[in-house]
Structure 1
């Protein structure tokens, strides 16, 4: 770790600048995230912002990566419970202006920018691999019929797709009832006895 990363003042100024960059992203989109506007908002010198991020692209990428998070993570608990809990938490984030700004910027920029594509992969790309493993274990426990694990990506798409559509295209405030209905509808065909 470099000495600058050990300095508490440098860590504080970096954190303040990232928070300012996120605020500016929410308020005006990625074009508002400049060294000058971040420095002014964070109350730090422009040189300080340049020291942490030598160009505007690096600043925006770090702001996006800082607020981005994997959409789904899994453990060995019941699959339905995990999906409902995590997607309800995700809904809370998506109901916030920062969640909307981060996701929409990543989706839009990933089409043209390899670095943003990597952030998108961190958020969306690895969930289906781990979900396949979790579904395999759930089949062994009797939660689902065999074969469900081969449809992990489709199940995630059938849950997240309508959730994101409701929020981004229709402007719906997401709630737990919507999450439960989407999870149950996607999992129903794979329940034992169906």
Structure 2
């Protein structure tokens, strides 16, 4: 008799296995995420891990997806305030070792794996559409000059590029002051009086 996906035991074993897989990813990279290693670390049977993830690609993808998150998710308030509030929350995650492991693995694997490429789009690319809408609304309210929404990807790049470079290439923890500086520099050309 198979248990449903809502079975508390199955949910617990799945959560434990994903947590173990994340730890292994951080400690040694994606090649350390194996069925046997995850089962041992999680304290579950290898058959349990295989039942949830019949192949390693699916296991790694679910591990990445568990911790991956969109880097910018705007709503309808003032764009600068939204960006700073969201980036402050993201900085907590980005400053942890797990973020470097997740992002590096996604970037590397997305070149060859369509499922990981889609995950990368969830993190980086799909924000363009939502961000363009938020920028359009902000321009209509007078926060920015008209047309900024057509440059959403450029604005996102001018924000995320320096922050991710500072954090992952230079190893500098992200601070609120750094985020304010980067956001203000990215938005400055689009201010009404610019």
The runs of 5 or more residues in structure 1 that have no matched partner are none
Aligned equivalents of 1:174 and 1:193: distance in 2? Answer: 29
Matched, 1:16 2:16: yes
Q: How many residues end up aligned between the 2 structures?
A: 193
| Cα distance, 1:54 vs structure 2 | 0.3
Q: 1:78-117 counterparts in 2 under 5 A?
A: 78-117=78-117
Structural RMSD (CA) = 1.0
Aligned equivalents of 1:16 and 1:124: distance in 2? Answer: 27
Contact 2:72–2:86 (CA under 8 A) maintained in structure 1: yes
Instruction: Determine the structure 2 residue equivalent to 1:6.
Output: 6
Instruction: Determine the structure 1 residue equivalent to 2:187.
Output: 187
| Cα distance, 1:4 vs structure 2 | 2.7
Aligned equivalents of 1:120 and 1:154: distance in 2? Answer: 17
Aligned equivalents of 1:21 and 1:173: distance in 2? Answer: 25
- The normalised TM-score by structure 1 is 0.97
- The normalised TM-score by structure 2 is 0.97
Q: Deviations over 1:41-94 (max 9, x none)?
A: 100000000000001111111100111111111111100001111112212111
Instruction: Determine the structure 2 residue equivalent to 1:136.
Output: 136
Q: Deviations over 1:154-181 (max 9, x none)?
A: 0000010011111111111111111000
Runs of 4+ residues over 6 Å off in structure 1: none
